[in-house]
Structure 1
């Protein structure tokens, strides 16, 4: 077989199709179980799955299903198989075919920075959308200082933003001890001389020093112009802490999402924490202003992505439309959040141990631990 050069598509370019709602046809050549568990999704994305091993002897099954007049992207786990399939398609005359550079591995790690708003004190708020994993993290910037909230382990995108804005990291904050992804908060703080904050009730087993988050304690970014006020909001974990920023934005962590609510079972204490979850959602958050804009730590479905990829919703609207906020019967709520749950995140116990400092996996091990969807929500899929 003569090698035919094919073009690659980066994760950033693929994200532009999803976020820009541009048509893209995807041929995913991973095995069926991996595909059904997790795939690239979008309103304008058409995707089919034909395992690579089914195409080794004959490319025809793929050739017959690929459109003539549309961009085509071949995807596999780490790149190699997709290159070979794309080359075969090119040899058959398909000129509109590319492969995903780095495969689903790089798709899982790409972060798209989206500006949320200018803040009243002259600062800015950004959301970093980890589109392939459903993780959302945040940066507050004001007068040369910055805070990062719920950082992913890939800290380079935050460092780029710090450099671009000429800002120094002051605070790295985790709203809770994460179970679906490895936090980059401590690494950011150590590298840039900032303080790493963690809720003390989630930090009982951590092996490192941290600054405890306390309810009613204001953290400042830039000469006290932006107040990051923690609000104790247990339920997803016993220490979960949310933030009101600039009096306008509620960073809800993994307690409240746009189309769902947080699950209470990832530490094995669902029955113990379900009451806390209901108290937070049906009492504590209910007392907050309806006009607050909710900015969660995750999204579960591409339908939650708004303009430019921003994931947000007005709190009052969520109390009208979010199913998790509209279960008047307490027993129904208890059954829903303890019995009707999606599968648990990949390697979530090992991820929790890593975030406690008890495990130190290498880079490739961390990638493998995080592969797949986040599954932090009750009504996830």
Structure 2
């Protein structure tokens, strides 16, 4: 049997459509345990490729005979070698083109809804990293919100649907991934917006989000003035689009809430986090569709691949929104923090414009799962 390459886009369809796939991951055990391709019906076997250099006979009993097998490694080289050996043994096998690096960078665009006066709102799902970015499209114009560093993906998508990107926003200064916001603005001539309270150390020009902005995109208004929502960072800002969609950044997720410690300020910011979630958000309509900047687990994906839920449903089902005692909230938030994201200090400095790593270094800095939420 011939070995074929499977692109990240095909793996993404398997994830979204909840198809079965057997993944033979030939990275080191620690890398696999920390971060792998997640799928509702995926099955896995992990063995480092160097243990297979003398042959695959010892693992043949672990490989299903009547299932599509995908071999995965960091960059694809080792997976090609192992896939070829499996193919020679009669296994229907593919390898992941570009390896986990390609999976980390893949974006799946999903239309999450229409706007009242024409236009659409798209969510870009970064399945390998848990990042969620957005594009608001109206009357030939577009705004991009919380873009990942793969700026060309957003620029190309806008060109494909025939719109011009006029504004780019970051809800806060990100610490888990490198923002593509400034790059998109440079490529398109768009205005780049950043909360000024997160920008004390940035070394580039930006338009300040200070709590009283309303930005018109085509026929739709992104309302910002009432939604200063600190807690994850001191400048965290939520957006309401078209009086229907609430973009929460990293303050509120579908199954969890944001962590307040990525600038070393957990004890100081946990009170802000509670006020944003328990006071500011309580004043909003339960019918707003919450669109966060990250998801934590694959179960948060809806049937169309989107990550979204009504605010009212989250106030009922999200444990982080149902801790009535303030001291208990403080304890839960500060004592249930996951490990810091990989290279988060360098990522923050990159997003400030203080350092400019090359493309390969940026890829390395982002390797691993997102860790923006309280457990």
Matched, 1:191 2:187: yes
Task: Give the 5 Å matches for 1:74-153.
Answer: 74-94=71-91, 96-153=92-149
Where 1:191 maps in the other structure, the secondary structure is helix
Q: Distance in 2 between matches of 1:156 and 1:72?
A: 31
Paired residues in the alignment total 373
Contact 2:245 2:291 in 1 (8 A): yes
Matched, 1:182 2:214: no
Please point out which of 268, 272, 289 is paired with 2:268.
Answer: 272
Deviation at 1:179, TM superposition (A): 0.3
Matched, 1:226 2:220: yes
Deviation at 1:161, TM superposition (A): 1.6
Matched, 1:286 2:282: yes
Q: Distance in 2 between matches of 1:236 and 1:86?
A: 43
Give TM-score scaled by structure 1 length: 0.97
* Larger CA deviation: 270-279 vs 337-346: 337-346
Where 2:166 maps in the other structure, the secondary structure is strand
User: Residue by residue, what CA displacement relative to the aligned partner does 1:307-352 show, whole Å, maximum 9, x if unpaired?
Assistant: 2210001101100110100111111111111121111110000000
Unaligned 5+ segments in structure 2 are none
Contact 2:69 2:94 in 1 (8 A): yes
Please point out which of 249, 255, 259 is paired with 1:263.
Answer: 259
Deviation at 1:61, TM superposition (A): 2.9
Matched, 1:325 2:355: no
Deviation at 1:216, TM superposition (A): 3.1
Matched, 1:31 2:28: yes
Deviation at 1:63, TM superposition (A): 1.6
What's the Cα RMSD here? 0.9
* Larger CA deviation: 193-202 vs 321-330: 321-330
Give TM-score scaled by structure 2 length: 0.98
Match for residue 363 of structure 2?
367
Match for residue 170 of structure 1?
166
Match for residue 374 of structure 2?
378
Q: Distance in 2 between matches of 1:265 and 1:61?
A: 46
Q: Distance in 1 between matches of 2:16 and 2:271?
A: 37
Match for residue 342 of structure 1?
338
Q: Distance in 1 between matches of 2:328 and 2:55?
A: 52
Q: Distance in 1 between matches of 2:69 and 2:34?
A: 22
Q: Distance in 2 between matches of 1:359 and 1:84?
A: 37
Please point out which of 8, 13, 18 is paired with 1:11.
Answer: 8
Match for residue 47 of structure 1?
44
Deviation at 1:62, TM superposition (A): 2.6
Where 1:307 maps in the other structure, the secondary structure is coil
* Larger CA deviation: 52-61 vs 300-309: 52-61
Match for residue 309 of structure 1?
305
Please point out which of 17, 21, 42 is paired with 1:20.
Answer: 17
